[in-house]
Structure 1
Amino acid sequence: MKKLVITLVCLVLVIVVGGAAVVWFTYDSVDESSVPTVQVEAAGQTLQPNAWEWSQPVLGGMLYKHFANDSTEAAQLGEYETGGFAVTFPQGYDTTITLRRDDAVVFDGRPAEWQDALTAEPGAYSLQVLSHRAEEKGRPYGEFMFEALFTVLPPPKPEPVFTAGKTELEQGDIFVMRLENIPEGVRPVTTTELGMGSFTPAGEGAWFAAVPVGNHRQPGAYTVDVTAGEDSWQATVTVSAYAYPEQNLVIDTSSEQITEANSAAAYQQYREKIPPLWETADGERYWEGAFIRPAEGGWISTEFGTIRYTNGDYSNSRSHYGMDIAVAEGTPVVAPNNGRVVLAEYLLNTGNTIVIEHGGGLKSYYYHLSALDVELGDMVEKGQLIGAVGSTGYSTGAHLHYEMRIGDQAVSPSMLFEDSAGLYSVEALAGDEAGDEAA
């Protein structure tokens, strides 16, 4: 009996040891090769898990063998000129995604809700993906963590563009320029002996400037230099002569009105009121489209640039810096374009006088009016009533003296009635280019 017991004990020990050996062998044979390969595809690159843990069943789930990998640094995907790229997530797992741009969460959800456009905006991104399989008896389970860093660069800034209008101009015309794609905070500057060329904003990153070709400008070639930050350009303007007529003005110098208008006090007042305006320029462009005639009817009694003499005294000639429109007293005078009234008062020499700033130093002047219908500081629109024709100041009869200047340089008012004027040429070029593209 004792021998039988010993035999049974030995048999049990053999079975136990053998079973344990089988279990140990089976457990030991399970290694990391049993851990599935789980990947994320982002921006054409394959991401491996930064950290993971996995439990693999042994002997049908009687035991589990656990594997883990400590967290490593996030994958550096680099810089991209354009975002909006596709991301592919693991299948067969419960996956959650967190996307941050510049440390702010822009998405926190699941693959079904993901949109590639989430990465379209420029910025520094962090993409975190957690793919999880829940514990279920007899089945492997675990989770995989992915993290990737990447940057979507802002679109490259377009190169600044300089466009010049007509460069072959007659005396009295205007040279214009347009700049585009100028960085924010940069204001262009013009340098030229032609005269003032003050840039005004013309849209986002765009600027416009008008430079006078005065009636006294000598024919020849002139350079116009433009600087905007680190960029610079140069244009050459060729000026040709304009044949100005001559006129002998007959005036009764004994008239009290003429005597007062021609006095030293009158000229001193004029110098105090008008030339200071030549130095000013509003930083905004008000005018839109072609200038219109400020007074209807009548006829041009004196053209712009006319060489004038008084009472046959040819030794004392002078230029007429505006155009005279001979028309009945009281005829309405309207603003030829949008602008801001910078002077509206009676002056001894020019009578009732209005000056309108149209932007960038381009101003219109109205002399000898019988009435003033605007005040200093008023904003006026093209076609708005501003006064009435008269014969106040140094005047021989009812007419409107209409003058245009940029800075101290007089330009031809009549040219601005035509769409072909230099003032409109750079925008005409832009229109032609748009038409070419449409065609």
Structure 2
Amino acid sequence: MDKSQKTAKKLGLRRYGTRAIILVLMVLIAAFILIAVPKPVLKLADIAGITLMDPLGNTSIVSDRNAFSLYVDAVNSARPIDRKQMGQNLKTYGMDIALRDGTRRYTLYVDRDLEKKGLYVETESGIRRVDTEYMEKILSDAIFDTLYENNRPPRVALKLDGTDTAILPADYEWHVKKVDSRFHPIKTDYLKGNSYYSFEIGKDSVLEYDFEMPPDAFYLFVYRNNDLILSTSRPENIAALLNEDGLYNCIMQLEWNQAENRDFYGKATYEFVLAADYPVRFEISAEEIDPGELVVIRASNIQPNEALDIETEIDFRPKTFQEGNTRIVLLPVSYYHQENRSFAVKVSSGDTSQEFSVRVRPKEFAVQHMRIDPAVAASTRNEKSAVEIREKLYPLKPVSDPVRYWEGEFILPVEGGRISPQDFGKRRYVNGSPTSYRHNGLDIGHDEGTPIVATNNGRVLIADYLIETGNTIIIEHGYGLKSWHYHMKDLYVKTGDVVKKGDVIGTVGSTGFSTGPHLHFSFTINDVWINPMTILEQGVPLVGE
């Protein structure tokens, strides 16, 4: 073989060697592509639905078909990695993808250190890492809310007399900055409280607040029987501001504002109940009074099953009436009562008692000498009329409905009527009689036929004609407080009717023992007459209201 042939042979071998190397390289590149570039494992057209699940069993359903492509692209583009590369600080989620031919379940792993932006999916071919582009969008779903450190309002605890109780919000609107650096609303309703938080408080209780992070705004509203009784914009000891037994429903609203150094903002509402049990407290409306006036005793923080005893030197045996956790006692002082001295009133319930001293001031009552037709006097004030009053009116005096019908002020029953405040309690002599009697009310003069209205709400005990008092109406306003109406011309109500303040009940007349058109108007507590002028001008002195 000559030199030229040898040279050609070498060139051929080199040529074949180069081709072989190139072929081997092409095979290696193809293999790398097959290994490194993920094959499509999902097709968008095959997907009917996607459900995400957290470790607690909560689910998030992806129903928007436009969102399906996010998960399809995320799975299809995920890069294969070794399982050891995922690390250990992972939280596991489930992802069910409903396909035409069944459901395919994937496991998602999220690195709890969100700064690493590690999201992994376990498919049939192994563990794959999802690209950051998809990971940021996927982790904005509400199912991943618990991954975020501030995924709920800061913790709140109530400290009652040194004992802490953590309470969860009943409701909240919360936003947190997620891995895409945007704020998203948090929808973890299962982080809300479903417990009934109740605390028992007494007169020396101290209620404090312990905030994981102090709120930027604090509002507390306290309700009793659905009525707002207290509100405050600072966390103070509200137990010291309450002084009556009962249940207090408290609504606390806290707000955390958006700020540069925060990855959250929002507001939360907390609800709890304070069950107050305070010692019985006694109050009296006056400790000095004129004869013919009314004293009211109020016992607070007393339950219906607790006894209340009244011992008094005043000549009256009072009844008590329950209003919620309060007991009301109406104690009238008759104009016949001894004057210019003090009388003891002792109130007690269980181990608690208090003694008051009520002084009855001296008072000069007016004296009237009245003339009336002797025939009228004889026909209207006699034994027959006295028997009628004893039979029809006396039995009504002790009636004491355990309901407070009256509301607010009492109104004058005859608009524009002529009144003399000295009428009540005056000593009246008729036709020169040597003996007098006490005038127990007001004589309101007006034209015959003028409307008479109910001074307040109540129940009609009687509407009837009597010999002495003429057409008569008595209204029970509750607790034994009654208004009396005599000498009327017309009666527009009947016994048993319920009337409202201002209802027309009849007209002015001059029936019975009367000298002319007027309305005789009186008030009693059971069988004791009290001053109508005081009731009309000041109302019932319900101390504490």
Normalized against structure 2, the TM-score is what?
0.50
**Partners of 2:419 and 2:504 in 1: CA distance:** 21
Counterpart of 2:430 in structure 1 is 310
**Partners of 1:352 and 1:182 in 2: CA distance:** 43
Q: Which amino acid aligns with 1:280?
A: V
Could you tell me how far 1:254 is from its partner in structure 2?
A: 2.2
**Partners of 2:189 and 2:502 in 1: CA distance:** 61
Could you tell me how far 1:392 is from its partner in structure 2?
A: 0.8
- Percent identity for Structure 1 against Structure 2: 36
Counterpart of 1:293 in structure 2 is 412
**Partners of 1:160 and 1:271 in 2: CA distance:** 41
**Partners of 1:407 and 1:155 in 2: CA distance:** 37
Q: Could you tell me which of 221, 235, 238 is aligned with 2:359?
A: 238
Q: Does 1:190 align with 2:331?
A: no
**Partners of 2:167 and 2:388 in 1: CA distance:** 74
**Partners of 2:444 and 2:431 in 1: CA distance:** 21
**Residues 230, 375 of structure 1: CA spacing in aligned structure 2 closer, same or farther, 3 A cutoff?**
farther
**Residues 280, 228 of structure 1: CA spacing in aligned structure 2 closer, same or farther, 3 A cutoff?**
farther
Could you tell me how far 1:118 is from its partner in structure 2?
A: 3.5
**Partners of 2:304 and 2:368 in 1: CA distance:** 51
**Residues 82, 400 of structure 1: CA spacing in aligned structure 2 closer, same or farther, 3 A cutoff?**
farther
Counterpart of 1:365 in structure 2 is 484
Structure 2 unaligned residues grouped into runs of 5+: 1-159, 169-187, 201-272
For residues 71-98 of structure 1, give each alpha carbon's deviation from its aligned partner in whole angstroms, at most 9, with x where no partner exists. xxxxxxxx998673379xxxxxxxxxxx
Counterpart of 1:51 in structure 2 is none
Q: Does the aligned pair in 1 maintain the 2:370–2:429 contact within 8 Å? A: yes
Q: Could you tell me which of 164, 177, 195 is aligned with 1:118?
A: 195
**Partners of 1:339 and 1:227 in 2: CA distance:** 31
Counterpart of 2:165 in structure 1 is 84
SS at match of 1:349: coil
SS at match of 2:483: strand
**Residues 284, 191 of structure 1: CA spacing in aligned structure 2 closer, same or farther, 3 A cutoff?**
farther
**Partners of 1:234 and 1:118 in 2: CA distance:** 45
- Please say which structure displays the higher CA radius of gyration: 2
Higher relative contact order (CA 8 A, sep 6+): 1
Q: Does 1:223 align with 2:223?
A: no
Q: Does 1:384 align with 2:461?
A: no
Could you tell me how far 1:168 is from its partner in structure 2?
A: 1.0
Q: Does the aligned pair in 2 maintain the 1:194–1:222 contact within 8 Å? A: no
Structure 1 unaligned residues grouped into runs of 5+: 1-78, 88-110, 124-152, 431-439
The number of residue pairs the alignment matches comes to 292
**Residues 307, 83 of structure 1: CA spacing in aligned structure 2 closer, same or farther, 3 A cutoff?**
same
SS at match of 1:215: coil
Q: Could you tell me which of 371, 375, 382 is aligned with 1:250?
A: 371
Supply the RMSD in Å over aligned alpha carbons.
Answer: 2.9
Counterpart of 2:300 in structure 1 is 180
SS at match of 1:417: helix
Report matched runs for 1:40-439 at 5 Å: 84-85=165-166, 113=190, 118=195, 120-121=197-198, 155=275, 157-186=277-306, 188-192=308-312, 193-202=314-323, 204-219=324-339, 220-255=341-376, 258-300=377-419, 303-313=423-433, 315-419=434-538, 423-424=540-541, 426-427=543-544, 430=545
**Residues 116, 254 of structure 1: CA spacing in aligned structure 2 closer, same or farther, 3 A cutoff?**
closer
**Residues 155, 332 of structure 1: CA spacing in aligned structure 2 closer, same or farther, 3 A cutoff?**
closer
Q: Which amino acid aligns with 1:412?
A: N
**Partners of 1:86 and 1:344 in 2: CA distance:** 60
Q: Which amino acid aligns with 2:369?
A: N
SS at match of 1:426: coil
Normalized against structure 1, the TM-score is what?
0.61
Could you tell me how far 1:361 is from its partner in structure 2?
A: 0.9
Could you tell me how far 1:323 is from its partner in structure 2?
A: 0.9
**Partners of 2:294 and 2:278 in 1: CA distance:** 29
